[in-house]
Structure 1
Amino acid sequence: MNALHLAADGEPDAEKAFYVADLSAVYKQHERWKKLLPEIEPFYAVKCNPDPYVLRLLAALGTGFDCASNGEINTVLALGVAPERIIFANPCKATSFIRSAAKARVDMMTFDNTDELHKIARTHPGAKLVVRILTDDSKALCRLGLKFGAPLDTVPALLAKARELNLDVIGVSFHVGSGSTDPFAFADAVERARAVFDMGKAAGYEFTLLDVGGGFEDASFEATAGVLADAINRFFPVRDGIRIIAEPGRYYVSKAFSLATNIIARRAPPGHALEQADAADVDPEQPSVMYYINDGVYGAFNCILFDHQTPQPTVLSLNGSFHVPASVPLRAASVWGPTCDSLDCVCAVTQLPGTLQVGDWLGWENMGAYSACAASMFNGFEVSRVVYTTGACGKGAAEVREALRAFQAQAA
């Protein structure tokens, strides 16, 4: 990370925290998706990370986009993406947003209540509607079923109302929760979707879309893909005319972004007491030193509060050197953000070298999902900038550049 050396050069604001985004990691995830779930079209969840280069790359790779607001729709359309590649996947939308979607010719959108149907009938009667159903999301980091999703026993009445309003319902969507830890939640959800397809037929509709939502995790993707594919084969053995899409977010970007933070202050025992302390006398659960870094829970680490994450640091530099011996003794420490709020704690207890100094750097991996997108400038601290690369993953960098060039030429 050449940018780390700026601090030693005395450049203005050289110690600012920054992300490193490896776009080839996004490309690799897309290739992995196509290999394991070739029948399912990914519609990237923009809310997860609306980074402009990530969006541009995914547009070049031909993905669709799951948008939740006018702002997200306009951002994607500005890239030259056709409106047919967008699903307005917010079941409860402002009337003005529905009207704007109609003007932009974004027709595919979700609903889970009768009030939404009345709004759509008034402002976008030509919409292609997808009924969002409630599923079991009890094993997810973020339980979206607390806010969205129609229980199955309410669906027949919803479809009857849509029919009465002369609206076109084309399919079913669900979401097992963001960051689902149970692959079998997808099997249960697909079974529920099958029941709703049958309800649609009884209401006079012939559904042509199954949206399996998000909740895909990088570490468990192979297991999830296997369970999901088996469930689709079991409950939809004949799929003539049925399009299947999904709304992955963190799967694409989580490990593509890392964060580098600078230690701007520390509180430690006076003199060399910390360095001279016998390891046997140190409580591993009682921090003996507090490190303060230049990003926190109001910035990149908002994922701790909003996304239930527990990021852990790695040491990038020690006493000004980027060579960190593996044998360096560790001590219990706490890591804090830069604001004046005591809530701004990044790690209450973690293991770090007791000899870290002001000016040293800590690294944080898997910071691409629900991090920068929700960062604020509380206390006047700026949002961490992004440095882009396509080389860290080696293979894939050339493909990324070629995809971007082709997409830019097409958009022009």
Structure 2
Amino acid sequence: ILSPENCDIEILDNGRTINDFIDNKIQELGSKDSEQPFYVANLDDMVKKHLRWLTALPRVKPFYALKCNSSPAVLRTMIALGTGFDCASKGEIQLALSLGVAPDKIIYAHTTKARSHIKYARTHGVNMMTFDSEDELVKISFCHPTARLVLRIAVDDTCSVIRLSSKFGARLGTVDKLLGRARELDLDVIGVSFHVGSGCTESSAFKQAIADARHVFDIALGFQMTLLDIGGGFPGRNDFKVTFEEVSEVINGALDEYFPSDSEVEIIAEPGRYYVESSFTLAANVIAKRVILDDTEHSEIVENSRDRTMMYYLNDGLYGFIFQCLCSMQAVKSSEQKYQSIIWGPTCDSTDKLSDDYWLPELHVGDWLLIDNSGAYTVSLCTEYCGFERTRIYPVVTAETWHQCAPIVSKRVKSTNCDCFSTECSKDLAKKDLHCMLLMKL
């Protein structure tokens, strides 16, 4: 599953670092007279994120949100780590199944599904799926009557960067009617899901959402409710307003209060950004530059005023990735004079603007910018607009992590005896899997 042959992974041996790899790649491109942007995917970071999850949220099984970043090395790493998968379409289900993911480790977590997609899920044994409306229930009753349904509820997402409840989720006042309709259609509702929004800045949002889910469990008479899906919204970078540990503490407390361990309710989540945001670094090149002073264009040789505005054009932009991480540019040094800078992408679209007012030291054509935290909703949203090639991804892993992981991954592929979410497997050498080995060695 996870090998240099399958994923084109670069193993960093002999003390080489990611920065060494980036420097060598830039030199290699220079020797070929190329300025193509590229990503470096740090698989070590993903492994460490998984260990962090297992420690902070031991009761919650992660189902990776494939939509966030579906690059082959990412998906194969998640498979090797033993996570489930949150899929939103027939295409994503096909991709997961093609890589060997078992159907029962997939949740079809989209509440507005095409009929053909539902039928595809049924044909291939993907039974767990979400709904939030009566029309969706009727559709499912015709296309997949034996599905195991999860009712998605709308929750307070006012403190999130990207709010979702205006589009998805049933209001609490409509839940009783929806459950009644499910009974009429003889459908099996097994649990509740919610999503507090992407980039949630207030951990208290999870507590209220879990309390709302408890209310739905209590009124779901006639159904055997065994699943709670707490969705996504987990921070993927260490400098975010709220830390992952702070969120986890609130979630654990709410679960203990509303869904104690003896309730026999399975808890899952749909993290995406959490696993991949900090794992990717983008290297982008300054391909053009303009200097503006008093609305007049000047040459940088003539003008050296602090009041000038710099305009830079990079070879990656909104059509290549969502530029949400400019503040992490490694080119910025606090001791250098900074200028108001407008950052443009490379396309002919005037909306391909990455920043209107960002302060940077003076850059020059040919300079490279290294942009951290660029792994979430970037690769999956890129296009080839204006003929610009998709940004290439170079997955890397340190030799230390690789040598620890590879034998266990190989064993895991050959055996189905170990449940990767088991807290007991570290006590039984016959059941050691990847995360157990790493927890003991890292």
Alignment TM-score, normalising by the size of structure 2: 0.82
Residue among 216, 228, 243 paired with 1:210 = 228
Change (3 A) 1:395 1:178: farther
The residue aligned with 2:392 is 385
Q: Is the 8 A contact 1:57 1:403 kept in 2?
A: no
The residue aligned with 2:164 is 144
Q: Does 1:263 align with 2:263?
A: no
Change (3 A) 1:350 1:406: farther
Output the amino acid matched with 2:264.
G
State the identity as a percent: 46
Task: Measure the CA separation in 2 of the matches of 1:337 and 1:60.
Answer: 36
Task: Measure the CA separation in 1 of the matches of 2:225 and 2:150.
Answer: 9
SS where residue 312 of structure 1 aligns?
helix
Aligned residues: 383
The residue aligned with 2:119 is 99
1:407 to partner: Cα distance:
5.4
Is the deviation greater in 36-45 or in 218-227?
A: 218-227
The residue aligned with 1:349 is 357
Task: Measure the CA separation in 1 of the matches of 2:51 and 2:253.
Answer: 20
Output the amino acid matched with 1:50.
S
Q: Which runs of no fewer than 5 residues in structure 2 stay unpaired? A: 1-21, 292-297, 417-442
1:403 to partner: Cα distance:
5.2
- Per-residue CA distance 1:99-138 (angstroms, 9 max, x = gap): 0000010000000111111111111111100000110011
SS where residue 245 of structure 1 aligns?
strand
1:409 to partner: Cα distance:
5.6
The residue aligned with 1:120 is 140
The residue aligned with 1:320 is none
Q: Does 1:194 align with 2:202?
A: no
Q: Does 1:329 align with 2:337?
A: yes
1:325 to partner: Cα distance:
7.7
Q: Is the 8 A contact 1:57 1:404 kept in 2?
A: no
Output the amino acid matched with 2:121.
A
1:349 to partner: Cα distance:
2.2
The residue aligned with 2:262 is 239
1:408 to partner: Cα distance:
5.7
1:377 to partner: Cα distance:
1.1
1:274-289 alignment, distance < 5 Å: 274=303, 276-277=304-305, 282-283=306-307, 288-289=309-310
Output the amino acid matched with 1:338.
P
Output the amino acid matched with 1:206.
Q
Task: Measure the CA separation in 1 of the matches of 2:328 and 2:202.
Answer: 27
The residue aligned with 1:41 is 61
Task: Measure the CA separation in 2 of the matches of 1:231 and 1:121.
Answer: 34
Task: Measure the CA separation in 1 of the matches of 2:351 and 2:376.
Answer: 21
Task: Measure the CA separation in 1 of the matches of 2:345 and 2:311.
Answer: 11
Output the amino acid matched with 2:379.
A
1:406 to partner: Cα distance:
4.4
Alignment TM-score, normalising by the size of structure 1: 0.88
1:410 to partner: Cα distance:
6.3
SS where residue 383 of structure 1 aligns?
coil
SS where residue 139 of structure 2 aligns?
helix
Q: Does 1:290 align with 2:311?
A: yes
How large is the Cα RMSD of the aligned pairs?
A: 2.0
SS where residue 126 of structure 1 aligns?
coil
- Per-residue CA distance 1:61-92 (angstroms, 9 max, x = gap): 11000000001001111111110000000011
SS where residue 326 of structure 2 aligns?
coil
Q: Is the 8 A contact 1:254 1:367 kept in 2?
A: yes
SS where residue 85 of structure 2 aligns?
strand
Output the amino acid matched with 2:356.
A
1:8 to partner: Cα distance:
3.0
Task: Measure the CA separation in 2 of the matches of 1:271 and 1:90.
Answer: 52
Change (3 A) 1:404 1:262: farther
Task: Measure the CA separation in 2 of the matches of 1:257 and 1:50.
Answer: 13
Task: Measure the CA separation in 1 of the matches of 2:102 and 2:333.
Answer: 52
Residue among 153, 178, 192 paired with 1:133 = 153
Q: Which runs of no fewer than 5 residues in structure 1 stay unpaired? A: 317-323
